Amino acid sequence: MEVPAQLIAWESYYVIVGSSGAALTGLQFVVMALIKDSSLRSTSREIGAFSTPTIVHFCAALLVSAILSAPWQSLASVRLALGACGLGGVVYGLIVVRRARSQSGYKPVWQDWLWHTALPLIAYALLLISSLLLPGFPERALFLTGGVVLLLLFIGIHNAWDTVTYIASDEFKAKETKTAAKAAELSEASEPAPKQPA
C-alpha cells in the first residue's frame, strides 16, 4: 500500500497540529471547570453558543490532522473525508449562529460575532473548498487545508482565552462591588447619630 507523496510531505505538520488540538481540548475542560466554580452563571444556550464550539474547533483540527495522517491509498478517499468535515463544520457553524442569536444572558459584541461565528464558518467553508480542489490541485488544496487547521486552532485559543478573561474580569467586578458595598455599610455604621433637638 503506497501513501500519496503529497500527504507524506505533511506528516510532521499534522503530528504537531493534531497533538496541539488534543492538548488544547483538554485545557478547555479546565476553562469549563473555572466557569462552574465562578459566581457567573451561564445557561446551556450560552455554553452552546460560546463554549462548546471551541471544543468542536479543537476536535476538528485533531480530526483533520488524523485524516491527513492516515495511510490512504488515493487522494479520492481523502477528498471525501475532508469534504464531510467541511460540510459538517459549515452546518454546525450555522447552528452556532442561531444559538448565539437566540441566547439572552449575554449580548455579543462584534468581536464575538467575528471569532465565534464568522471565522469558523469561513474556515469550514474553506475546508470544503479545499476538498473540491484536491484532485486537480493537490498541492494548493493541501496548503489551504493546512491553513484552515491552523486557523481553527487559533480560533479555539482566542475563544478559550476570551472566556477566561471574561470570567476573571466579571469576578473582579463582583468583588469590587461587594467591597464597595461593605465599605459603605461600615461608613454608615460608624457615623454618629444626628443629635435630637431639645
The pLDDT score that the predictor gives to residue 175 is 56
Q: Where are the domains of the chain?
A: 5-170
Q: Counting Cβ atoms within 10 Å, is residue 89 exposed (0-12), middle (13-18) or buried (19+)?
A: buried
Give the model confidence (pLDDT) of 77-97 as tens digits. Answer: 999 999 999 999 999 999 999
Looking up cell 505533511 gives 10
Looking up cell 470570567 gives 167
Q: Tell me the three cell numbers of residue 134.
A: 484536491
Q: Tell me the three cell numbers of residue 123.
A: 474556515
Give the model confidence (pLDDT) of 17-76 as tens digits. Answer: 999 998 888 877 777 776 666 655 566 666 666 778 999 999 999 999 999 999 888 899
The pLDDT score that the predictor gives to residue 35 is 65
The pLDDT score that the predictor gives to residue 122 is 98
Give the model confidence (pLDDT) of 128-143 as tens digits. Answer: 999 999 989 999 999 9
Exposure b/e, 156-169, CB count within 10 A at least 16 = b: bbbbbebbeebbee
Q: Does the structure show a pLDDT above 80 at 184?
A: no
Report the mean per-residue pLDDT for the chain.
83
Residues 180, 141: Cα–Cα separation, whole Å? 58
The pLDDT score that the predictor gives to residue 74 is 87
pTM reported for the whole predicted model: 0.79
The pLDDT score that the predictor gives to residue 156 is 92
